[in-house]
Structure 1
């Protein structure tokens, strides 16, 4: 197959309590919210999106922050008060997803597939900036979570957006043996890596005998799967552990180029070619 090009984009930053990405043993059961915690525990993490230039289509994974977060009260309304308390957004000029697409010579109408790894606010906030993508998709498990547990999400971020759902299929991939082959040729495969959410999706991009794994929020950094550091926000601890173990196993394969966590401060914007 022709070359696949993956753009690692940073669409702003998020400030959170350190126990949100890296759970800690503490007396505070909700330390990840930052409530009753000193500001010294607040850290900034990148918010990533990925543009995949594939011979069979242009694929965008996640959307980062919306430009509304730049505007005081409007930003708080956009995020919802509770989510705004937990996550502080920063989106410098030029880093919104539509701005970065324009810098690369694209419009949202050029996107063949906009894939949402999951529906947390820092991954779908910018959705309305690219709402004219030809197809916007998320798996049915994640959409079911958003309906059952709306307090974990900000549904207004995808209000009036036509999001289609797909279903994982039984396979030999992933900790739950559930995956979805986008083109049917194993070049882009969505893998269910639950724990952080039930529908959380990692993406295997493979070509010419090598692969890249976009791990989303399975772990918040490389050290997460290397040292088994669980995220503070999770729906199933056992599934988190299984997903991190699978990610570590994938990272050790000789044909693995890299495993990339969405919020890893050590991963800088770049282009990876396969």
Structure 2
């Protein structure tokens, strides 16, 4: 009995230490958004929107479980017979005429060209990232330098490692924005990375200040001119954010991992890796309905375009 109690106490100590380690991280402040104006509908947004250039960088390919990309409890997914799937990993570059250069997600840094899991560590990592490939020059820093991009800030869809792995390649002090309450998913020994080690402050997008535009829901005008909008799409993770950009080639909806793939989007199947299935389904329904109402808008999915 004494031995059992000792073991129990040891587990309590270990769990407490892990929780404390997880709690350590950058401080958080609210991201200051421009005045949202008198926007009440999608038509209002279209009528007053400025434009920004949008370029997508493909920073590598990862092999991941199909069950992570698609909720295999949905019988429609029975057509997928392979346990693994190769997916592209993106960073989206926005160039705004007044605000400068911003990224939506950061893709992968050069370490994913050196090993399949790059900067992702921990005994769970091989079950999340089964393999990968990155060609020379595909890493985010190489593409930023080639295109002479001076990053003023990063808007994250969420903080899974394939979306944040490029942060260490950016100049220290680059502002990082993310959804309010988003977890950094740092689990000592199990699954962790160094993506936020040199980040002092994270700036949270607070959708309590947002306009409500159906069927998308809560939206923030990030630059105050209608060119780039953040959309609250929780479910895959808490605080997940999708984005809508009025590019010079037309409007583009960046779903982030609210929908990993085109097939998932077209068939209404949420990601298998979802923290809240109900919220994920609600968010995906809103994006699908918006796309159906506006078929001229290009949709770029979390890992497919």
- Which bracket does the TM-score occupy, shorter chain normalised? 0.7 to 0.9
Cα deviation code 1:26-53 (max 9, x no counterpart): 9xxxxxxxxxxxx942221100110011
* Aligned-residue offset at 1:201: 0.6
Cα deviation code 1:147-168 (max 9, x no counterpart): 7x74796353211213422222
Using the alignment, how far apart are the partners of 1:153 and 1:206 within structure 2? Answer: 36
Match of 2:83 in 1: 41
Cα deviation code 1:73-125 (max 9, x no counterpart): 9x56643331233213322210110101111123xxx2122111111010011
Unaligned 5+ residue runs, structure 2? 1-48, 75-80
Answering whether residue 105 of structure 2 is matched by residue 62 of structure 1, we say yes
Cα deviation code 1:159-209 (max 9, x no counterpart): 121342222224213668333221122211111111100111101112689
Using the alignment, how far apart are the partners of 2:95 and 2:148 within structure 1? Answer: 12
Could you state the TM-score of these two structures normalised by the residue count of structure 1? 0.79
Using the alignment, how far apart are the partners of 1:174 and 1:217 within structure 2? Answer: 20
Match of 1:17 in 2: 65
Using the alignment, how far apart are the partners of 1:85 and 1:255 within structure 2? Answer: 37
Rate the CA distance shift 1:83–1:163 in 2: closer, same or farther, 3 A: farther
* Aligned-residue offset at 1:225: 2.5
**Which moves more between the two structures, 39-48 or 96-105?**
39-48
2:199 pairs, out of 161, 165, 170, with 161
2:273 pairs, out of 233, 240, 254, with 233
Answering whether residue 237 of structure 2 is matched by residue 197 of structure 1, we say yes
Contact 1:137/1:164, CA 8 A, preserved across alignment: yes
Contact 2:104/2:155, CA 8 A, preserved across alignment: yes
Using the alignment, how far apart are the partners of 1:114 and 1:43 within structure 2? Answer: 28
Contact 1:10/1:47, CA 8 A, preserved across alignment: yes
SS in 1 for 2:213: coil
After superposition, where does 1:235-274 map in structure 2 within 5 Å? 235-254=275-294, 256-264=296-304, 267=305
After superposition, where does 1:98-137 map in structure 2 within 5 Å? 98-106=141-149, 110-132=150-172, 134-137=174-177
Using the alignment, how far apart are the partners of 1:159 and 1:174 within structure 2? Answer: 38
* Aligned-residue offset at 1:65: 1.6
Could you state the TM-score of these two structures normalised by the residue count of structure 2? 0.72
Cα deviation code 1:129-156 (max 9, x no counterpart): 01346422112221xx337x74796353
Unaligned 5+ residue runs, structure 1? 27-38, 268-274
Contact 1:120/1:154, CA 8 A, preserved across alignment: no
